[in-house]
Amino acid sequence: MKHVIVVGNGMVGYKFCEKLRAKADSTKVKVTVIGEEVLPAYDRVHLSEYFETGEKEQLLMAPRDWYAENDIELITGTLVNHINREEKAVSTYDGKHFHYDMLVLATGSSAFVPPIPGVEKQGVFVYRTLEDLDAIMAYGKDCQNATVIGGGLLGLEAAKAVKDMGLTAHVVEMAPRLMPRQLDDRGAKMLSNTLEKMGLQFHLSKRSESIVGADAVTGLAFQDGEILHTDMVIISAGIKPRDELARQCGLPVGERGGVVVDGELKTADPNIFAIGEVALFEGMIYGLVAPGYEMAEIVAAQIAEVDYTPFEGADMSTKLKLVGTEVGSFGDALMESREGTSIVMEDQFKGIYKRINLSADGKRLLGGVLVGDTSRYNILHQMVLNEMPLPPHPEDLIAEAREGAPVGNGVADLPDGAQVCSCENVTKGALCHTIEKEELLTLDAIKSCTKAGTGCGGCVPMVTDLMKELHKKMGKEVRNVICEHFAYSRQELFSLVKVKGIRTYRELLAAYGKGNGCEVCKPAVASILASCWNELVAKQSTIQDTNDRFLANIQKGGSYSVVPRIPGGEITPDKLIVLGQVAKKYDLYLKITGGQRIDMFGAHVGDLPDIWEELINAGFESGHAYGKSLRTVKSCVGSTWCRYGLHDSVSFAIEVENRYKGLRAPHKLKGGVSGCIRECAEARGKDFGIIATEKGWNLYVAGNGGSKPQHAQLLAADISSEDCIKYLDRFLMFYIKTAEPLNRTSTWISKLEGGLDYVKDVVVNDCLGIGEELEQEMQQLINVYSCEWKEVVNNPELRKRFRHFANSDEKDPTIKFEPMREQKKPVNW
């Protein structure tokens, strides 16, 4: 029986054990793993989650028992400090000796610390292990700010972590842009703009000369003479392979470190392999998990004496989320213009930049950069890897996603050989085969059976799409779950929240979910909680998007808008004067909107509570222009003024707007009331439109403007005002309870079996017998309405949140203004 010793129990060392045991049991191969860290291998990729959860065990790749259950001897907290190649033995720092037949070096890397004078001072850290994070958290308690040296992927992650600790985060980067290896100039600019708005501060093209301070850090000195005052420094300037054992036993290492290996991952000694971040293949260290896992597979196969394909290098494409901003870089991301043509899409307002690089003949996709929206990353990446043909209009690949079907190629178009999960090397063909053969009906089942999606998790959206496609083909009921953290649809979660009286995201996650949640379930649950209880959304700030966190729309240029409610578009002269005075005082730009109210643009986030205090004192309320909630009920002038008017459309619009103001829904809601069929209020372009008839009102539903305009359809004709309200209560509540997140009423109805006829049956004919219940639920929400801004203005704790910097009242210095038609507007980013 062979004895394999693995030195290093990191992500790759662990994966090697898992793969080896799947191919050879303990009667064939004895395995001993020796790791220096106290804990068994943990998920370094998700290291930052430790800041949120404080739970180390949650990050373990497998519990300690797993090793014993798989006949693997695990020795932790022990450094291997010597290899005797002649005797085929390793020794540990505490004097133990172990003989091996095969040795696998999986010692990974440590953080590279440049020789800057002062790095030994108190308050200087690196960001690599759980112990590093413990130390950062402990020291950070007494700090106001922290500076990260290195604006690459890990540096930005570290900066987010210190920002989440409530510190002001500075990032210093030597290059003129962030993530210089993955992003081009424009992509990096878009990213830094977005991250600056989130409170990070960047110092680009800056070389650090020394860390200043007596014993502890007080600042960072740059080569240009400038000094940045800082309480703490985190160095994230790259990685340094842990090749000291290889050096000690005379194995060749690279000029800049790393144990030299061939395609079989063998070192110069045929009995010693090196895998993961310590292995140097053709001059390259792969600082990502996926190539490490592939290496683990190849070595495990050789030891188990089964077939394998030698390592040929790996793709360094990456997709990640930085401070809530999605970033992707794939294939030849930084292609020079002479090598082909690029198509670029930029939306400064939304913070989105997309670039795809096409071959000179325009037939193939070579790579690209995505900032702000990586929803198509997986498919674009696969198109590069599989050299798939481009669609007739390649620009569609990065076109703004419209409602409805996605543009261009989808997962179904991928060839069977396409590698869907690169961490676990699972192809589309293998995935489809296993899902069909084993009848796997959930993402969890697919993950545990195929391992796809269990590595960095980047392929989960694609695996989910594939699963849905196959389930349709297999005629299986597709269970529509919200995301991998909740095995429930939005509708089911709504019922659970309501019936169980759940008031917070954490409560719901603990009772019915798992993990830490994600960008899909957090806002969806926030919307459900708001729809169920109508409580102040800003209280649950960590699960809200920016608009709801600050109860204002973030505008181009980084300022915010203030939109008071003006029901029916009617306003008294006194109130109009107040709007003018407030606008003058806070330098706001005024515009009358399409929803018949007055938008006040260009507010600094820190001014928002003071502005609203003055407006509330003058009798205004929040207009909810920022929320997925009722916006306005537009009206024409109606019978009060218009000679064609059949009824008083203004009074009815005001009644309806006041009834549903503050109502939270899966998407925004708009309404309209017209005094006759001439339809001056354009009510049929709204989610609900009411048009006066000789006999009463016609009620139309599910219209919208936007990129795919939709005319509202007739729900009930010639009804009284009372019936109109009754049907509206039912219709809106039914929509709120059953629609998917971010579906407007028209999309919701188009997805419902039976469409509008079914909705009519439920709302007008009460075919489910739930009409009264829906009305009561709506009435409860109406009863608990209160103005969100009034609550904030009167709550000193909530007011404190409205600051650009976590620890100072200073305004965002990057927001600049320029004149425009006798007013002032913020300069665009």
Under the rule (CB under 6 A), what is the footprint of ligand SF4? 636-638, 642, 644-645, 649, 674-676, 678-680
Residues paired with residue 78 on neighbouring β-strands, in sequence order: none
36 binds ligand FAD (CB under 6 A): yes
Binding test (CB under 6 A) with ligand FAD, winner from 3, 23, 37, 70: 37
AA identity, residue 11: M
- Tokens found for residue 744: 């407007």
Q: Is 320 in the site for ligand FAD (CB under 6 A)?
A: yes
Between residues 80 and 600, which has the closer beta carbon with respect to ligand FAD?
A: 80
- The reply to whether 89 sits near ligand FAD by the rule CB under 6 A is no
Q: For residues 267 and 260, is the Cβ–Cβ distance under 8 A?
A: yes
- Name the segment binding ligand FAD (CB under 6 A); options: 30-38, 254-262, 401-409, 769-777: 30-38
The residue among 347 and 775 lying less far from ligand SF4, judged by its C-beta, is 347
- Please count the CA atoms within 13 angstroms of the CA of 461 that sit on its side-chain side: 12
Give least dist CB 670 to ligand FAD, A. Answer: 40
One DSSP character per residue, 392-406 reads SSGGGGGSPPPSSSP
* Tokens 């009510």, residue located: 683
Q: What is the spatial distance between Cα 655 and Cα 674, in angstroms, rounded to a whole number? A: 14
- Residue 325 vs 649, nearer CB to ligand SF4: 649
Task: Give kind and range of the element (H or E) at residue 370.
Answer: strand 365-371
User: Can you tell me the distance from the alpha carbon of 14 to that of 225, in angstroms, rounded to the nearest whole number?
Assistant: 46
CB of 59 to ligand FAD, least distance (A): 11
**Binding of residue 40 to ligand FAD (CB under 6 A):** no
Task: Compute the least distance from the CB of residue 649 to ligand SF4, in Å.
Answer: 6
Residue 176 beta carbon to ligand FAD: minimum distance, rounded to whole angstroms: 24
User: Taking contact as CB under 6 A, which single stretch among the options 4-12, 303-311, 689-697, 728-736 is the one that binds ligand FAD?
Assistant: 4-12
Query: Which span sits near ligand FAD by CB under 6 A: 42-50, 248-256, 652-660, 690-698?
Result: 42-50
Contact residue for ligand FAD among 6, 11, 143, 739 (CB under 6 A): 11
Find the binding residues for ligand FAD in span 59-88 (CB under 6 A): 79-80
Among residues 245, 365, 579, 582, the one that binds ligand FAD under rule CB under 6 A: 245
Rounded to the nearest whole angstrom, what is the least distance from the CB of residue 256 to ligand FAD in the complex? 17
Least separation in angstroms between CB 281 and ligand FAD = 13
Asked whether the beta carbons of 745 and 687 are under 8 A apart, the reply is yes
Query: Closest approach of Cβ 642 to ligand SF4, in Å?
Result: 3
- Specify the length of the chain in residues: 829
Q: Is 716 in the site for ligand FAD (CB under 6 A)?
A: no
| Distance in angstroms (rounded) separating the CA atoms of residues 506 and 523 | 13
Could you give the angle at which helices 573-585 and 608-617 cross, rounded to 10 degrees? 160
Other C-beta atoms lying within 10 Å of the C-beta of residue 251? 20
The token pair that represents 238 in the structure block? 């790259």
What residues form DSSP beta bridges with 234?
A: 125, 148
- We find the least distance from the C-beta atom of residue 643 to ligand SF4, in angstroms, to be 8
Binds 107, which of ligand FAD, ligand SF4, none (CB < 5 to 8 A, cut-off by type)?
ligand FAD
| 609, interface contact from ligand FAD, ligand SF4, none, CB < 5-8 Å by kind | none
User: Can you tell me which of 152, 257, 258, 287 binds ligand FAD, judged by CB under 6 A?
Assistant: 287
- Determine the Cα–Cα distance for residues 310 and 294; give it in Å rounded to an integer: 10
> 715 CB contacts (<8 Å, ≥6 apart)?
699, 700, 701, 727, 731, 756, 759, 760, 763, 764
Q: Residue 65 CA to chain centroid, in angstroms?
A: 33
Verify binding: residue 34, ligand FAD, rule CB under 6 A.
Answer: yes
Quote the least distance from Cβ 128 to ligand FAD, whole Å: 5
Nearest distance from residue 594's CB to ligand SF4, in Å? 8
Least distance in angstroms from the C-beta of 647 to ligand SF4? 8
DSSP per residue, 437-485: HHT--SHHHHHHHH-TTSSSSTTHHHHHHHHHHHHHHHT------SBTT
CB 130 within 8 A of CB 155: no
Strand order in the sheet with 669-674: 630-635, 669-674, 688-693, 696-701, 713-719
The answer to whether 390 and 365 are in contact (CB under 8 A) is yes
**What's the closest the beta carbon of residue 825 comes to ligand FAD, in angstroms?**
39
Indicate which of ligand FAD, ligand SF4, none lies near residue 674 (CB less than 5 to 8 Å, by partner kind).
ligand SF4
CB 496 within 8 A of CB 512: yes
Nearer to ligand SF4 among residue 419 and residue 649 (C-beta)? 649
Bridge partners of 260, per DSSP, are: 280
Task: Return the residue of 5, 29, 31, 45 that touches ligand FAD, per CB under 6 A.
Answer: 45
Residue 423 CB contacts under 8 Å (≥ 6 apart), including other chains? 289, 290, 293, 454, 455, 456, 459
Q: Does 277 bind ligand FAD (CB under 6 A)?
A: yes
Tell me the CA distances in angstroms from 216 to 183, 229, 460, one per residue in order: 35, 12, 44
Q: How far apart are CA 193 and CA 184, in angstroms?
A: 14
Which does residue 408 bind out of ligand FAD, ligand SF4, none, counting CB within 5 to 8 angstroms by kind?
none
Residues 730, 557: Cα–Cα separation, whole Å: 41
Nearest to ligand FAD by Cβ — which residue? 10
| Shortest CB 638 distance to ligand SF4, Å | 5
Minimum distance, C-beta of residue 593 to ligand SF4, in the bound complex (Å): 8
Q: Is 777 in the site for ligand FAD (CB under 6 A)?
A: no
Q: Does 343 participate in binding ligand FAD (rule CB under 6 A)?
A: no
| 155 near ligand FAD, judged by CB under 6 A | no
> Whose Cβ is closer to ligand SF4: residue 428's or residue 631's?
631
CA distances from 162 to 151, 194, 327 (A): 14, 17, 20
Give yes or no for residue 288 binding ligand FAD (CB under 6 A): yes
Nearer to ligand SF4, 43 or 648 (CB): 648
Which of ligand FAD, ligand SF4, none does residue 127 bind (CB under 5 to 8 Å by kind)? Answer: ligand FAD
Task: Give the CA distances from residue 51 to residues 39, 54, 85, in Å, rounded to whole numbers and listed in that order.
Answer: 17, 6, 42
Ordered DSSP codes for 136-156 = HHHHHTT-SEEEEE--SHHHH
Give the DSSP H/E element, type plus range, for residue 60. Answer: none
Binding-site string for ligand FAD from residue 418 to residue 457, where x marks contact by CB under 6 A and - marks none: --------------------------------------x-
| 150 vs 606 by CB, closer to ligand FAD | 150
The count of residues interacting with ligand FAD (CB under 6 A) is 35
Which of the stretches 41-49, 179-187, 330-338, 806-814 binds ligand FAD when contact is defined by CB under 6 A? 41-49
Least spacing, CB of residue 94 vs ligand FAD, in Å: 12
Q: Give whichever of 304 and 636 is closer to ligand SF4, judged by the CB atom.
A: 636
Q: Is 618 in the site for ligand FAD (CB under 6 A)?
A: no
Nearest to ligand FAD of 44, 825 (CB atom): 44
Residue 292 binds ligand FAD (CB under 6 A): yes
Beta carbon nearer to ligand FAD, 245 or 669: 245
User: Among ligand SF4, ligand FAD, none, what binds residue 645 when CB lies within 5 to 8 Å by partner kind?
Assistant: ligand SF4
C-alpha to C-alpha distance for 197 and 144, rounded to whole angstroms = 19
DSSP string of 566-602, one letter each residue = -GGG---HHHHHHHHHHHHHTTPEEEE-TTSSEEEEE
Q: Map residue 268 onto helix, strand or coil.
A: coil
Please report, as ranges, the residues that interact with ligand FAD according to CB under 6 A: 7-13, 34-37, 44-45, 47, 79-80, 106-109, 127-128, 154, 157, 242, 245, 276-277, 287-290, 292, 320, 456
